């Protein structure tokens, strides 16, 4: 193994932030008790924010971004891990305040790692990535709340994005009827191929709406926030549940308490970054059993480290379909 490895490095200058591909050594890495030879990372919405500086997610400079990675342990002082183990990392501030996955090597805390599940290849683990793992957290949230396929439809907002695409594939496989809300009518066939039964235009949900509307769905996976989330809540059936994981439209929630106090609906917050280990393990194990890998492959494209800077503004603009894997050796 060479002493140096390639990484994307973000730096802050008087003129703003810059991104470059640099050669680093392990001496440059931050503290941690496990060193990993990274094979793949991915581009999530938050990576788009970090790479472009569109929101202040980067907490330390210079930084190797990339909020998730998969790879093989090369050195470990942590009781759970030994050289040769294949591991996945999502969140924990990696790619924000700790050097992340856009590098051929990473050093992190062993407590942050999850074993790569049997049956998921390293490339597919990052096709899933934090977006797909978050989709599974949403599905688990709906299940915990007791939402069953027989209760009614599930709406997925931001449907053609990463969280949305994986959510549709998971929910369809589990027997739910899925309504996909998208701003891209041209992606209707793609969304149907993932398992959506009905497509609606996201404009139906994105403007200020009434406190309560017709009861249309039993549950929701919302990656969009703002008026969209408020309208999703307002049209959820009695006793239904809405998982809120994203803010592609906005961070605000201009909603009424009416659906909560008159229809008893539940709003479930989803956080992937600091989720406890047991929940992460459950999510990854369920992804191995409940995600159709052919559908995952169909929603995924692969790029190299040198392409990440070009794709970062595109994901923020909602122009990326499905998921992007970053092969750090390409
Ligand atoms: P993507 O960019 O892949 O997907 C977001 C989708 O939202 C877009 O594809 C688009 O779908 C839709 N969208 C974009 N802009 C708007 C807008 N202005 N109004 C309405 N809809 C819009 O991102 P990800 O799937 O990776 O992430 C989705 C969200 O989830 C992000 O906000 C991200 O920060 C959040 N997230 C949160 C996590 C957590 O731990 N809570 C973890 C992972 C992600 P379409 O074209 O179909 O309309």
Is the shortest distance between the CB of 271 and ligand 1 below 6 Å? yes
- In degrees and rounded to multiples of 5, residue 188 shows phi and psi of -60, -45
Residue 105: its pLDDT value, please?
98
Q: Which residues of 34-63 are buried (b: 16+ CB within 10 A; e: fewer)?
A: bbbbbbbbbbbbbbbbbbbbeeebbeeebb
Is 270 a residue whose pLDDT tops 70?
yes
Is the shortest distance between the CB of 182 and ligand 1 below 6 Å? yes
Helix axes 122-144, 162-173, angle to 10 degrees: 70
* pLDDT-based confidence at residue 1 (cuts at 50, 70, 90): low
> What is the average per-residue pLDDT within 169-197?
98
Is 277 a residue whose pLDDT tops 70?
yes
| Ligand 1 atom at shortest distance from the alpha carbon of 323 | 3
Distances (CA, A) of 288 to 19, 116, 125, 279, 318: 34, 10, 9, 14, 27
Q: What is the mean pLDDT of the chain?
A: 97
| Ligand 1 atom at shortest distance from the alpha carbon of 164 | 25
Gyration radius of the chain's alpha carbons: 20
| Ligand 1 atom at shortest distance from the alpha carbon of 269 | 41
Distance 318 CA to ligand 1 centre (A): 7
CATH class of 132-269: alpha beta
Q: What is the DSSP letter of 119?
A: T
Distance 228 CA to ligand 1 centre (A): 12
Q: Give the side-chain half-sphere CA count within 13 A for 256.
A: 15
Distance 165 CA to ligand 1 centre (A): 10
Q: How far apart are CA 296 and CA 290, in angstroms?
A: 11
Residue 50: its pLDDT value, please?
97
Q: Write the pLDDT tens digit of every residue in 47-99.
A: 999 999 999 999 999 999 999 999 999 999 999 999 999 999 999 999 999 99
> What is the average per-residue pLDDT within 234-255?
97
Count of helix runs (H) and strand runs (E) in the chain: 9, 15
| Ligand 1 atom at shortest distance from the alpha carbon of 159 | 47
3-state secondary structure of 161: coil
Domain boundaries, the chain: 4-116+299-327, 132-269
Distance 320 CA to ligand 1 centre (A): 10
Distances (CA, A) of 1 to 5, 36, 75: 9, 12, 13
Helix axes 122-144, 277-290, angle to 10 degrees: 110
* pLDDT-based confidence at residue 11 (cuts at 50, 70, 90): very high
Run of H or E including 48: helix 45-52
In contact, 100 and 94? CB cutoff 8 Å: yes
Share of the chain above pLDDT 90, in %: 98
Q: What is the DSSP letter of 287?
A: H
| Ligand 1 atom at shortest distance from the alpha carbon of 322 | 3
* pLDDT-based confidence at residue 14 (cuts at 50, 70, 90): confident
Structure tokens at 67: 């909020």
CATH class of 4-116+299-327: alpha beta
Q: Are strands 34-42 and 86-90 parallel, antiparallel or unpaired?
A: unpaired
Q: Write the pLDDT tens digit of every residue in 114-167.
A: 999 999 999 999 999 999 999 999 999 999 999 999 999 999 999 999 999 999
Is the shortest distance between the CB of 224 and ligand 1 below 6 Å? yes
Q: How far apart are CA 291 and CA 299, in angstroms?
A: 12
Distance 207 CA to ligand 1 centre (A): 17
Neighbours of 25 (CB within 10 A): 11
pTM tops 0.95? yes
Spatial CA neighbour of 162 closest among 319, 330, 328, 279: 319
- In degrees and rounded to multiples of 5, residue 192 shows phi and psi of -65, -35
3-state secondary structure of 122: helix
Residue 15: its pLDDT value, please?
85
Q: How far apart are CA 127 and CA 321, in angstroms?
A: 12
Is the shortest distance between the CB of 183 and ligand 1 below 6 Å? yes
């Amino acid at each position: 193994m060479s002493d140096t490895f390639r990484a994307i490095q973000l730096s802050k200058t008087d003129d703003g932030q810059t991104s470059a591909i640099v050669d680093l050594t392990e001496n440059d890495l931050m503290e941690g008790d496990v060193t990993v030879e990274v094979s793949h990372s991915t581009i999530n919405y938050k990576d788009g924010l970090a790479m472009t500086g569109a929101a202040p997610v980067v907490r330390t400079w210079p930084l190797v971004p990339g909020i998730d990675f998969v790879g093989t342990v090369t050195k470990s002082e942590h009781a759970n891990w030994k050289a040769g183990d294949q591991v996945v990392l999502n969140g924990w501030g990696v790619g924000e305040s700790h050097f992340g996955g856009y590098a051929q090597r990473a050093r992190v805390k062993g407590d942050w790692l999850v074993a790569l599940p049997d049956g998921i290849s390293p490339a597919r683990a990052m096709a899933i990535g934090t977006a797909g793992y978050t989709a599974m957290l949403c599905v688990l949230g709906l299940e915990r709340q007791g939402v069953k396929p027989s209760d009614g439809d599930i709406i997925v907002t931001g449907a053609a994005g990463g969280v949305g695409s994986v959510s549709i594939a998971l929910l369809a496989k589990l027997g739910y009827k899925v309504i996909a809300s998208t701003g891209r009518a041209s992606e209707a066939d793609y969304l149907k191929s993932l398992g959506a039964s009905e497509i609606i235009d996201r404009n139906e949900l994105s403007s200020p709406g009434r406190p309560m509307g017709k009861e249309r769905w039993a549950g929701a996976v919302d990656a969009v926030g703002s008026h969209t989330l408020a309208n999703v809540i307002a049209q959820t059936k009695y006793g239904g549940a809405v998982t809120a994981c994203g803010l592609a439209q906005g961070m605000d929630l201009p909603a009424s308490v009416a659906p909560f106090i008159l229809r008893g609906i539940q709003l479930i917050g989803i956080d992937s970054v600091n989720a406890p280990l047991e929940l992460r393990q459950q999510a990854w194990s369920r992804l191995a059993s409940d995600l159709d890998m052919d559908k995952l492959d169909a929603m995924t494209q692969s790029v190299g480290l040198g392409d990440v800077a070009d794709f970062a503004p595109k994901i923020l603009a909602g122009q990326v379909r499905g998921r992007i894997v970053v092969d750090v050796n390409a």
